[in-house]
Amino acid sequence: ETGVTQSPTHLIKTRGQQVTLRCSSQSGHNTVSWYQQALGQGPQFIFQYYREEENGRGNFPPRFSGLQFPNYSSELNVNALELDDSALYLCASTQSGGALTGELFFGEGSRLTVL
């Protein structure tokens, strides 16, 4: 186990709804990244948070947004859910101070199903 915890583990939403996923980083880790993993695909980078600010973003629309809190935990919010948002959402933490230096420590993920 990596010490990165995510909640909820599973959830089901309908199109148009909004969802919030939560992540607690491993102790001592100040940088949190979020990845989306669709079925049969590799994880895709959504964004990274460092010092409570977004520090890089992948090719995802603005309805994907996030927060990082002073204790380094983080939230991923997705508005106006679409069917294609169904995926495993992985949170990863590192003590890299915003610059990626290799290994990421992943949580168990939140499995989102959009009906």
Interacting residues toward another protein by CB under 8 A: 2, 4, 33, 35, 40-45, 48, 55-56, 58, 88, 90, 98-100, 102-109, 111
> Which of 56/75 has CB closer to another protein?
56
Tokens of 60: 């995802």
| Best CA proximity match to 68, nearest among 52, 89, 47 | 52
Residue 85 Cβ vs another protein, minimum distance, rounded to whole Å:
18
Cα–Cα distance for residue pair 85/81, rounded to 1 Å: 6
> Which of 90/114 has CB closer to another protein?
90
Residues in the chain: 115
| β-sheet bridge partners, residue 44 | 36
> Which of 40/62 has CB closer to another protein?
40
Residue 20 Cβ vs another protein, minimum distance, rounded to whole Å:
19
Cα–Cα distance for residue pair 36/90, rounded to 1 Å: 6
Q: What is the distance, to the nearest Å, from the Cα of residue 44 to the centroid of all Cα atoms in its chain?
A: 10
> Which of 16/97 has CB closer to another protein?
97
Residue 108 Cβ vs another protein, minimum distance, rounded to whole Å:
5
